[in-house]
């Protein structure tokens, strides 16, 4: 097999559900956030990022939202190195 791609579906509802799940932590949310960023839904502007980010702030804090976003981009960068 030469490779495959995987994509998160229902990104917004998945993120909101995970943010509300007390057993999940910021690291878990960063993984899902990264998958949502690179999704077709994000490219088609189907994710209400304001709603997602407000849920993160409500559960944690504004600084946690920034940490999650930064961590998500680090995850994306680490997976895209070597593909160029």
Whether 10 maps to a domain, the answer reads no
Q: Would residue 54 count as lying in a domain?
A: yes
Residue 67 lies in a domain: yes
Query: Does 55 map to a domain?
Result: yes
34 occurs within a structural domain? yes
Whether 49 maps to a domain, the answer reads: yes
pLDDT at residue 14 in the model: 98
The answer to the question of residue 9 being in a domain is: no
Q: Which domain holds residue 54?
A: 22-80
Mean pLDDT of 50-79: 97
Whether residue 17 is contained in a domain is answered as: no
| Between 4 and 72, the higher pLDDT residue | 72
pLDDT digits (tens, 9 = 90+) for 11-61: 999 999 999 999 999 999 999 999 999 999 999 999 999 999 999 999 999
User: What would the two tokens of residue 28 be?
Assistant: 């878990």
Distance separating alpha carbons of residues 51 and 33, to the nearest angstrom = 13
pTM listed for this prediction: 0.91
Supply the pLDDT for residue 81: 79
Number of structural domains in the chain: 1
Q: What is the DSSP letter of 25?
A: -
């Amino acid at each position: 097999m030469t490779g495959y791609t995987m994509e998160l579906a229902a990104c917004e509802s998945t993120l909101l559900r995970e943010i509300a799940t007390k057993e999940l932590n910021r690291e878990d949310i960063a993984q899902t956030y990264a998958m949502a960023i690179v999704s077709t839904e994000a490219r088609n502007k189907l994710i209400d990022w304001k709603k997602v980010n407000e849920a993160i702030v409500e559960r944690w804090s504004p600084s946690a939202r920034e940490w999650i976003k930064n961590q998500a981009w680090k995850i994306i960068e680490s997976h895209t190195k070597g593909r160029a």
